[in-house]
């Protein structure tokens, strides 16, 4: 039986915290990545950052494969954006920590990310489309930023109120 983490929701303070770099990808970090992947698949979602499971280290996981496709897990420690295109892209985003809410977010269309992989080896990923939005969304989490922080305060507060209402109705 594999254990899962609990995903925290707004307004938990860990979602606003800046996560700490890891020294190296140890067996414990690999275990954390495995449990984060299981938690993400269970949710289900296409990405998960450590802050969302109340762990403040710079670890994220992603998998954009569809439910009927072969799994394609991507694990990153200490990710850094080393290139972003001037061209921008707008896409509807959601977040497991802001359940049942979505909004259009504008981000650099293409990014290149440097990170340590599951085996602790340096790696780079160039991403466009949904993967680009996802990896930027996850790195934002590690920096205490949520997609609603890019919206007007009016839209952000509407979303936060809707989440509170769903909680009160026990729908989350």
Considering only the stretches 15-23, 72-80, 116-124, 137-145, report the one whose residues sit in contact with ligand GNR under the rule CB under 6 A: 137-145
The number of C-alpha atoms within 13 Å of 20 and in the hemisphere containing its C-beta is 6
x-marked contacts with ligand GNR along 76-105 as a string, rule CB under 6 A? -----------------xxxxx--------
> In whole angstroms, what is the distance from residue 6 CA to residue 108 CA?
31
Residue 39: count other Cβ atoms within 10 Å of its Cβ. Answer: 22
Q: Which residue is nearest to ligand GNR (CB)?
A: 45
Residue 26: count other Cβ atoms within 10 Å of its Cβ. Answer: 12
Q: Does 138 bind ligand GNR (CB under 6 A)?
A: yes
Phi, psi of 16 (to 5 degrees): -105, 0
Is 138 one of the annotated active-site residues of the chain?
yes
Burial class (CB in 10 A: 0-12, 13-18, 19+), 169: exposed
| Choice from 47, 58, 61, 163 touching ligand GNR (CB under 6 A) | 47
Considering only the stretches 19-27, 76-84, 114-122, 135-143, report the one whose residues sit in contact with ligand GNR under the rule CB under 6 A: 135-143
| Choice from 10, 45, 101, 139 touching ligand GNR (CB under 6 A) | 45
Choosing from 69, 86, 106, 138, which is the catalytic residue?
Answer: 138
Residue 120: count other Cβ atoms within 10 Å of its Cβ. Answer: 14
Q: Does 95 bind Ni ion (CB under 5 A)?
A: yes
93 binds, among Ni ion, ligand GNR, none (CB under 5 to 8 A by kind): ligand GNR
End-to-end Cα spacing for the chain: 25
| Choice from 19, 36, 37, 49 touching ligand GNR (CB under 6 A) | 49
For residue 88, the cross-strand partners are 108
Which residues are identified as catalytic? 138
């Amino acid at each position: 039986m594999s254990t899962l983490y609990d995903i925290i929701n707004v307004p938990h303070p860990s979602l606003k915290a800046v996560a700490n770099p890891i020294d190296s990808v140890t067996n414990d970090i690999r275990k954390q990545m495995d449990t984060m992947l299981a938690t993400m698949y269970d949710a289900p979602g296409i990405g998960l950052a450590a802050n969302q499971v109340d762990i403040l280290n710079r670890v994220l996981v992603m998998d954009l494969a569809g439910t009927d496709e072969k799994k394609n897990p991507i694990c990153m420690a200490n990710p850094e954006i080393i290139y972003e295109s001037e061209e921008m892209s707008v896409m509807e985003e959601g977040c497991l920590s802001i359940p049942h809410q979505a909004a259009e977010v504008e981000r650099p269309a293409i990014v290149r990310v440097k990170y340590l992989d599951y085996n602790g080896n340096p790696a780079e990923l160039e991403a466009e489309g949904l993967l680009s939005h996802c990896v930027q969304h996850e790195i934002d989490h590690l920096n205490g930023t949520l997609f609603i922080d890019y919206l007007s305060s009016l839209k952000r507060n509407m979303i936060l109120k809707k989440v509170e209402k769903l909680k009160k109705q026990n729908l989350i």
